[in-house]
Chain A
Amino acid sequence: MPSRPFPLALALLALALPAASQTTAPPPAFMQREKGHCIACHQLPQGAGPATKADLGPRLTGARMRELGRARLRDLIQDPTVANPNTVMPPFGRHRILDTAEIDRLVQYLHALP
C-alpha cells in the first residue's frame, strides 16, 4: 500500500478534535432518581451537565476527582461511610443501589470531568 501519512494524520486529528472540545454527558446513573441521582446533591463544572443549586454534597471538579484517583472514587461511591460515618451520601454499592458496571461508568465519567 502506498504510504499516505498526510491524509492519515488529518483523519486522526479530525477524530481527536471533537473529544477535546466537548465533555461527555452524565451517564444515566448520575441523573436518575432511582439510581445514583448524584445531580441532586452535587454540582458539575459549567458545561459538563445541567446547572443546579444542589449543594448538599461538594462540587465535583475534574481536578478534585483526579486528585482522588479512580480507586478512591470507586470506594467512595461503593461505601462513603467508611471514610466518613456521618456522611449523608448513600452507600451506593454496599446497599446495591448501583452495580459494579454502573459505578465503573460513573468513575470513568467523574475522572474525565473538566
Chain B
Amino acid sequence: MRFPECIAGIALAALLSLPAHAAGPEDVRAGIAVALKERLPELAPQDYRLGAAALDAELRRALEENAGAGAATVEAGKALWTRKFKNGRTLSGCFPNGGRRVAAAYPQFDPRLKRVITLEMAVNQCLKSHGEALYDHADPKTMGAVTAYLRSLSDGQKVAVRVPTAAEERFEQGRRLYTSRLGQRNYACASCHVQGAGKHFEDTPLSPAIGQATHWPVIRKGEPVTLQERFRECLELMGAAPFPAGSEELNNLEYFLTFLSNGLPMAANAWRPER
C-alpha cells in the first residue's frame, strides 16, 4: 500500500470507528463522502447512484439498454398492491397516498416499537393487521414484486432517512456492522465499498457506499432482488453466516446504508448483470 493511501486508510479507519455520540450520523456520512471523493475524484455526485456502472462504460451502456428489465415485475407488483384482501381492503390502503412518494423515508425508526422498520416490514405489517399471509422477503414473486412496484412510485424522490436522537443507537449498530470485519474472509462491507471503492474485484469496479441504497430492488435475470437479499449474498461470499432478512442486524445495516444516500434521487428496479 502506498504511503498516502496508508494515511487515508488509517484516517478512514479512525473515522469509521468513532461511536455515534462522538460523531453524529451526519458527521459519519460526511466523513465517508470525503473518503470516497479522495478515492473517486472524477465521479460526479449525481452518478453515485449508478454504482459500479458509473465506473465502467460498458456496464453503464448495458444498464441503459436494459432499463426496462423490471417492467413485468412492476406490473405483477401493481396487481398485488391493488389486490383485495379477504376483508376487502388492499395494501395500497395501508400507506399514505396509496404508496406514492413514501419509499424515500424508509427505513424509519418506530419510537413505539423502538426498532427500525424497513419498507418490506411495513408491507408485512399491513398484511398481518388484515389477517393476510405474510410475504417471504426472499420471494421475488411476492415481496420482490410488491417492492418493485411500491418503490417505483418514489422514482425521482430524494432519499430522506431520518435518524432522531432515539434512533442513533440503531444507526450506530448499523455503522458498526458495516465497518466490522466479518466471516472467514475477514471483510467488512467498508473494506470493499469505502476502502476499495472504485477498485476492481475480478473485472467489476466496487461500488461506493454512497449511492448503494437508491435503486432497489435490482433486476437480475428478470427477477427482483431486494437490498437485504443482496446483503445476505455478500455475507455468504464473505464466509459469514448471513443474518435473516428482517433481522435487527440487517434492518440496522439498511438504516445506516440508506442514510448514507440521503439527498440522492431514487430509481427502483435497476438492471444488474448475472453474478
Contacts and interface: CB of A to CB of B under 8 A. Distances in A.
Contacts of B206: 56
B13 A95 contact: no
Given A86-B13, A97-B185, 18 more contacts: A39-B202, A41-B201, A52-B203, A53-B202, A54-B202, A55-B200, A56-B192, A56-B199, A56-B200, A86-B10, A86-B195, A88-B187, A88-B191, A88-B192, A88-B195, A88-B196, A90-B187, A97-B239
A59 to B, nearest CB: 12
Interface of B: 1, 6, 9-10, 13, 184-187, 191-192, 195-196, 199-203, 206, 239
B201 A40 contact: yes
A53 B198 CA distance: 11
28 contacts: A40-B202, A41-B201, A52-B200, A52-B202, A53-B200, A53-B203, A55-B199, A56-B192, A56-B196, A56-B200, A56-B206, A81-B186, A84-B1, A86-B1, A86-B6, A86-B10, A86-B195, A88-B187, A88-B191, A88-B192, A90-B186, A90-B187, A91-B186, A95-B184, A95-B186, A97-B184, A97-B185, A97-B239
A2 B10 CA distance: 71
A90 B184 contact: yes
Residue of A81, A90, A91 ringed by the most chain B CB atoms within 10 A: A90
Nearest to A87: B1
Contacts of B1: 84, 86-87
Contact of A54 (B9, B13, B195, B200): B200
Interface of A is mostly: loop
A40 B202 CA distance: 4
Q: How large is the interface on A (under 10, 10 to 19, 20 to 34, 35 or more residues)?
A: 10 to 19
Contacts of A87: 1
A81 B184 CA distance: 13
A56 B1 CA distance: 10
A96 B186 CA distance: 12
A41 B200 CA distance: 7
A58 B206 CA distance: 16
Nearest to B190: A88
Contacts of B9: 86
B222 to A, nearest CB: 24
A81 B6 CA distance: 14
Nearest to B195: A88
A87 B6 CA distance: 10
Interface in A56-114: 56, 81, 84, 86-88, 90-91, 95-97
